[in-house]
Chain A
């Protein structure tokens, strides 16, 4: 079975460092010195609710989450 997980993305072109995601989920997001947020690449299932809250609050609509199917077979 291929492992199914989610991939979290913050678009660095869209992000302006408003940092609401960091307020909502400091355990998932950080902001760099050039004011672009980044998130954990593969959030766990119990982090998904907080990720969704950050997506819904992001002023620029910069955060997204996608299915990330990784097939371990060669």
Chain B
């Protein structure tokens, strides 16, 4: 058995398959504790992760995605590295995206996206989302079995965002193929891979030209879609952003919404298969589906960790953190902190505080697409349950109940199944 104290979280494949025992081990050392291989300080306590999210003056998001990779482009000197961060900001991975920006630039960039994906706005698209779910189910339902990620989750997640943004019908095939939901295989699981390779500078740069074209058209002639909302949005100071600055949030919405939603949907369906009692319960009472999705987010947080860089030397959770320390906020650990959630490793439909999970992060950087992810999850579970009976995990692939085997993506960043084979009886319409 591996000694958990020696684990290299950033390279250990076994830990990617079951990170929770390791997170519990870390939390037992202290909610804020240094790991031995990269000197990264792991935050595993719920309260501490919340506090770090809130304190964006001390914790810069400049390294949010890459964490220790690549190493800092400068040598931290002194107890305040604000100037060094700003001088080298452009050298950090995906520096052009809001996820790694700090105030005040972050507020400006985010304002272009704010309020475009609210539950109220999404309700206007709900009919379409239902049709989309049904259309995707139609492609395999009568087979009585499927590989849920390829047959449903990936194409559904991609189509939902393509439609919502307003990508023209004639371009959709290209997008689906480019994003791996069509025939072409892609490399989305490279982000957070275990070989220490940094995130590409901008994995979706090739989409920028397309989006620049759409946004220019919509600035001229706005329509009823999210791209039009972005194209016509002004900055809070009233100025009109150049198209190039609107392109980045548009492509990022794509990047962030594919893999993560696929992972949420497959975790939810895996839970239905492994806990058949929920199937009838949710069929009888669809009002429970939102809580079911929230609990799936808590238990199987698709983004395991989020990084910050200590800007000014501070004492945090009893640990002195020098300016320049890389901090790893372990969302998946915080969501299973026993001080916050009773029986944290149990899936429970009746948690009163389930909405307090932080699978989407918190504060100024909280996931802007969260309302969309929630709706996609709710509609998927609802339509799947309404159109099938007896969903089971395919034992010929994953093993019998109690001896199941699932493979998860081997990255330190994301948590999700690589495949999910299920069987079911289609219901007569």
* Interface residues in B, total, Cβ within 8 A: 22
Q: How far is the CB of A62 from chain B (nearest CB, A)?
A: 10
Chain A interface secondary structure, helix, strand, loop or mixed? loop
The CA-CA distance from A20 to B353 in the complex, in Å, is: 12
The one of A19, A34, A56 in contact with B356, judged by C-beta atoms closer than 8 angstroms, is A56
Judge whether B355 and A23 touch: CB under 8 Å. Answer: yes
Judge whether B54 and A61 touch: CB under 8 Å. Answer: yes
A:25-39 near B, CB below 8 Å: 31, 34-35
Judge whether B119 and A17 touch: CB under 8 Å. Answer: yes
The one of A16, A23, A24 in contact with B118, judged by C-beta atoms closer than 8 angstroms, is A16
Judge whether A19 and B290 touch: CB under 8 Å. Answer: no
A43 within 8 A of B: no
- When distances are taken between beta carbons in the complex, the residues of chain B under 8 Å from A23 are 290, 355
Judge whether B353 and A53 touch: CB under 8 Å. Answer: yes
The CA-CA distance from A3 to B361 in the complex, in Å, is: 38
Nearest to A49 among chain B residues (CB) is B352
The CA-CA distance from A41 to B363 in the complex, in Å, is: 23
Judge whether B362 and A35 touch: CB under 8 Å. Answer: no
Judge whether B118 and A17 touch: CB under 8 Å. Answer: yes
A69 within 8 A of B: no
Interface centre among A35, A53, A56, by most chain B C-beta atoms within 10 angstroms, is A35
Judge whether B366 and A35 touch: CB under 8 Å. Answer: no
The CA-CA distance from A57 to B366 in the complex, in Å, is: 12
| Size bin of chain A's contact surface | 10 to 19
Q: How far is the CB of B357 from chain A (nearest CB, A)?
A: 9
Judge whether A16 and B115 touch: CB under 8 Å. Answer: yes
The CA-CA distance from A57 to B361 in the complex, in Å, is: 11
The one of B114, B355, B363, B366 in contact with A24, judged by C-beta atoms closer than 8 angstroms, is B355
- When distances are taken between beta carbons in the complex, the residues of chain B under 8 Å from A18 are 118-119, 366, 370-371
Judge whether B118 and A19 touch: CB under 8 Å. Answer: yes
The one of A14, A24, A59 in contact with B370, judged by C-beta atoms closer than 8 angstroms, is A59
26 A–B contacts, CB within 8 A, in A order: A16-B115, A16-B368, A17-B118, A17-B119, A18-B118, A18-B119, A18-B366, A18-B370, A18-B371, A20-B355, A23-B355, A24-B355, A31-B120, A34-B115, A53-B353, A53-B355, A56-B356, A57-B355, A57-B356, A59-B360, A59-B361, A59-B366, A60-B363, A60-B364, A61-B54, A61-B362
